């Protein structure tokens, strides 16, 4: 039903056949609907799922759920959508999802995947570029669009960042970051979190959590770390740092959560860009940060849902708040947090939900 067409400008559109227009009707709750594995709108639901994933990665869980609900509605339709007017009156298709379906939905899913696959590019930016006729990396390079530092790095290292990070690479990076942390603050501690802490052998990035045993001493640690690394920039290679047996490159300031680093493997002599996610936490919040950054994403979401619905508590990667008693609950280990939540302790390697 959907036909891909390449227009002279290189724009890929999905052509809609408006000859037959049957409005669809779907009940509001997914638990009222019958939805088999047969999906007549995979192009649209894939696009919405990708945007959901992106929203969730940027901590916009509300938007993520909205996209997922919209995708679920389209998945339940008995045939492919051929005209926007068929969607009027359907539940869960809010303004934003409808706009996405209208503007980007008809553009091939691959285009959206490429653009939102650039480090630092979210659905909003990809949406705008697509409307401006940018559908691939070359068109983006030629467009003269102003890119921020993260996006420039993301575009430059697109292929590297798409490559999964191995455990060996994660450990090499841990060594480098660990030495840098020890130099700026000898007592500071660094822990590998994310998928690698759960025992995964590959990941899309390397996540670290840094803290200091003395409350308050972690303040300013991130900028110090950055200037320590930058002070070792060698003259002939811009931004390249020589530390022991690896060359380490920090692409942009680490005041925010995300960063990107490059290193060269001494054996292969090959440059490689890797996403590194550094988080600094005060020791009083460390257990919550460790639990929150270990994941998996679904495990974290379910922990928060359990805390809210079953215990009347609000859990975040900073704290646990008892809504009834109106007070924060302290914890100095993950085990204590599980206990406060009335849950049996589950070790990291069994949190791969």
205, 245, 265, 322: the active-site residue: 205
245 binds, among Mg ion, ligand DCT, none (CB under 5 to 8 A by kind): none
**Side-chain half-sphere exposure of 185, counting CA atoms within 13 A:** 24
Distance, in Å, from the CA atom of 341 to the CA atom of 343, rounded to the nearest integer, reads 5
Q: Any known ligand binding at 207? A: yes
46, 61, 245, 277: the active-site residue: 277
Check if the beta carbon of residue 346 is closer than 8 Å to that of residue 294: no
What tokens were used for 63? Answer: 């938007």
Catalytic residue status for 61: no
Q: Any known ligand binding at 277? A: yes
Catalytic residue status for 159: no
207, 245, 265, 322: the active-site residue: 207
Distance, in Å, from the CA atom of 98 to the CA atom of 82, rounded to the nearest integer, reads 14
- Applying CB under 6 A, the residues found at the interface with ligand DCT are 56-57, 59, 194-195, 200, 203-205, 207, 277, 292-293, 295-297, 300
348 binds, among Mg ion, ligand DCT, none (CB under 5 to 8 A by kind): none
Q: How far is the CB of 293 from ligand DCT (least distance, A)?
A: 5
Q: Which of residues 166-225 bind Mg ion (CB under 5 A)?
A: 194-195, 203, 205, 207
Catalytic residue status for 277: yes
Q: Any known ligand binding at 18? A: no
Q: Which residue's entry shows tokens 């939905």?
A: 105
Q: How far is the CB of 200 from ligand DCT (least distance, A)?
A: 5
Q: Which of residues 269-298 bind Mg ion (CB under 5 A)?
A: none
Distance, in Å, from the CA atom of 347 to the CA atom of 126, rounded to the nearest integer, reads 38
Which residue has its beta carbon closest to Mg ion?
194
Distance, in Å, from the CA atom of 281 to the CA atom of 210, rounded to the nearest integer, reads 6
Per-residue HEC secondary structure of the chain comes to CCEEEECCCCCEEEECCCCCCCCCCCCCCHHHCCCCCCCCCHHHHHHHHHHHHHHHHCCCHHHHHHHHHHHHHHHCCCCCCCCHHHHCCCCCCCHHHHHHHHHHHCCCHHHHHHHHCCCCCCHHHHHHHHHCCCCCHHHHHHHCCCCCHHHHHHHHCHHHHHCCEEHHHHHHHHHHHHHHHHHHCCCCEEEECHHHHCCCCEECCEEEEEECCCCCCCCCHHHHHHHHHHHCECCCCCCEEEECCEEEEECCCCCCCEEEEEEEECCCCEEEEEEEEEEECCHHHHHHHHHHHHCCHHHHHHHHHHHHHHHCEEECCCCEEECCCCEEECCCCHHHHHHHCCCCCCCHHHCCC
Contact set with Mg ion (CB under 5 A): 194-195, 203, 205, 207
Catalytic sites, residue numbers: 205, 207, 277
> Residue positions in the annotated binding site for Mg(2+)?
205, 207, 277
Binding site listing: 205, 207, 277
């Amino acid at each position: 039903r959907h036909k891909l067409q390449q227009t002279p400008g290189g724009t890929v559109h999905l052509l809609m056949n408006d000859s037959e227009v049957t409005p669809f009707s779907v009940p509001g709750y997914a638990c009222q609907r019958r939805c088999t594995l047969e999906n007549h709108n995979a192009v649209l639901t894939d696009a919405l799922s990708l945007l959901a994933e992106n929203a969730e990665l940027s901590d916009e869980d509300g938007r993520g759920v909205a996209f997922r609900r919209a995708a679920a509605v389209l998945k339940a339709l008995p045939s492919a959508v051929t005209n926007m007017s068929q969607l009027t009156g359907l539940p869960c298709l809010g303004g934003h999802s409808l706009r996405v379906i209208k503007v980007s939905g008809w553009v091939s899913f691959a285009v959206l995947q490429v653009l939102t696959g650039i480090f630092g590019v979210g659905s909003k930016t990809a949406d705008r570029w697509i409307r401006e006729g940018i559908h691939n990396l070359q068109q983006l390079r030629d467009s003269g669009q102003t890119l921020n530092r993260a996006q420039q790095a993301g575009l430059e290292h697109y292929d590297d960042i798409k490559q999964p990070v191995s455990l060996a690479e994660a450990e090499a990076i841990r060594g480098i970051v660990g030495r840098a942390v020890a130099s700026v603050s000898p007592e500071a501690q660094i822990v590998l979190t994310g998928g690698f802490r759960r025992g995964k052998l590959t990941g899309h990035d390397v996540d670290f959590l840094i803290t200091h045993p003395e409350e308050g001493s972690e303040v300013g640690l991130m900028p110090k770390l950055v200037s320590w690394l930058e002070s070792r920039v060698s003259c002939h290679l811009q931004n390249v740092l020589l530390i022991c047996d690896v060359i380490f490159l920090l692409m942009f300031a680490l005041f925010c959560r995300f960063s990107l680093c490059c290193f060269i493997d001494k054996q292969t002599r090959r440059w490689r860009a890797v996403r590194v996610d550094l988080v600094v936490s005060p020791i009083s919040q460390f257990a919550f940060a460790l639990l929150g950054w270990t994941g998996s994403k679904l495990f974290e979401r379910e922990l928060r849902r359990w805390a809210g619905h079953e215990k009347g508590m609000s859990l975040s990667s900073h704290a646990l708040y008892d809504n009834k008693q109106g007070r924060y609950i302290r914890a100095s280990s993950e085990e204590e947090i599980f206990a406060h939540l009335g849950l049996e302790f589950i070790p990291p390697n069994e949190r791969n939900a």
